[in-house]
Amino acid sequence: MLGEPMVERHRTTEGQQTAPDSVSGDAFNAACAAALAGARVALLSVLGTDPAGDLILAELVRRGVDASQVRRGEQHTGAYTVSPDAEGQPRFSYQRAGSAATTLSLADLERWGRVLDATPVLITSGVTAAISPSSAQLVVAAVTRVAGAGGAPCYDVNYRPNLTDAESARRALRAVAAACRLVKLSSPGDSGPLLGIEEATAVAAALAEFTRAAVAVTRGDAPLLLTDGGQTTEHPAVRMPTPVDSTGAGDILLGTLAARLALGESLAAAAPLAVVAAGLSTRHRGGAPRATLDEIRAALAAARRTEEPPADPPQALEEQEARP
């Protein structure tokens, strides 16, 4: 996983703390989801030597993500603050400018070269490409290197208009797409601004014009659309009885897909598990996943049981058997 984990802070509009600081960010969420889905995961990133960086490192270790490749820098660790707006809805403000992770650059390619050469699957994102020009260069170089070594880069478009503009995000996507095994994007959140398209099959077709990568299109409560090797499948979202917060659900979906891909599963086979993992993450606040692989599998099995058609009553079965 190549990207920037961040500290999540919850404050009132007056600045009072309402919950303990936690860790989130697309890189952290996806890395933790991949670890929960059964993969061995290492994070490639830069953190400050401040308490926020210490908190992230401790949480990575607690969650089973290898943090031995993380570089420490003099800059502050990235963070964001969640506070209520006038309507009581969560408002996000970022303390990301000049963070340690913005120093990611091609110089790190030498540091992490052996890891990249040996990795079967790399996850990175448009967020990582957007935090600084040097980080964008590293994203392209890392994706190219992993693909050249026979690995499978997975790229989450993850367009953030408060971090970059649509044209820059479009260039970042095109710079890596041809070397990717999988590109994930949301519709309309990513596809509208970057491609001018919202219908899922049209989104996949537009990407097919410049990449042979599999494409995963998330659509909120609508089924996940997955195209891979000329085959298109849809995977219905699993409704959760008490959804609380959808933050990070897309990160968790991609992390789960990438983990199962690394473990030898096809994307189509992994998709139902990934959809359920994303759904379970909406039952609590914060973007980081909590559900174990056993819990995800149990929820998937339960969802499939509810989808099974009811059995014919005994009388109907007898009538069918009596027919010539």
Question: What digits encode the pLDDT tens for the residues 32-46?
Answer: 999 999 999 999 999
Cα-flanking dihedrals φ and ψ of residue 121, to 5°? -140, 135
Mean pLDDT within 62-72: 97
Higher pLDDT: 65 or 315? It is 65
Higher pLDDT: 322 or 132? It is 132
Residue 293 contacts by C-beta under 8 Å, 6 or more apart in sequence? 36, 37, 38
Percent of the chain with pLDDT over 90: 76
How does pLDDT run across 193-207, given as a tens digit for each residue? Answer: 999 999 999 999 999
Write down the pLDDT at residue 311: 44
Write down the pLDDT at residue 313: 43
Does residue 324 surpass a pLDDT of 80? no
What's the CA gap between 76 and 86, in Å, rounded? Answer: 30
Mean pLDDT within 60-87: 93
How does pLDDT run across 80-112, given as a tens digit for each residue? Answer: 998 888 777 777 888 999 999 999 999 999 999
Mean pLDDT within 203-212: 97
Write down the pLDDT at residue 308: 56
Residue 261 CB-density burial (10 A; 0-12 exposed, 13-18 middle, 19+ buried): buried
CB contact at 8 A, 214 and 225: no
Does residue 217 surpass a pLDDT of 90? yes
Q: How confident is the model at residue 307 (pLDDT cuts 50, 70, 90)?
A: low
In the CATH hierarchy, which top-level class contains the domain 26-43+101-305? alpha beta
Q: What is the pTM of this model?
A: 0.91
Instruction: Show the DSSP H helices in the chain as ranges.
Output: 26-36, 51-62, 107-111, 113-118, 126-130, 133-148, 166-177, 191-195, 200-208, 249-262, 267-280, 293-307, 314-322
Q: How confident is the model at residue 321 (pLDDT cuts 50, 70, 90)?
A: very low
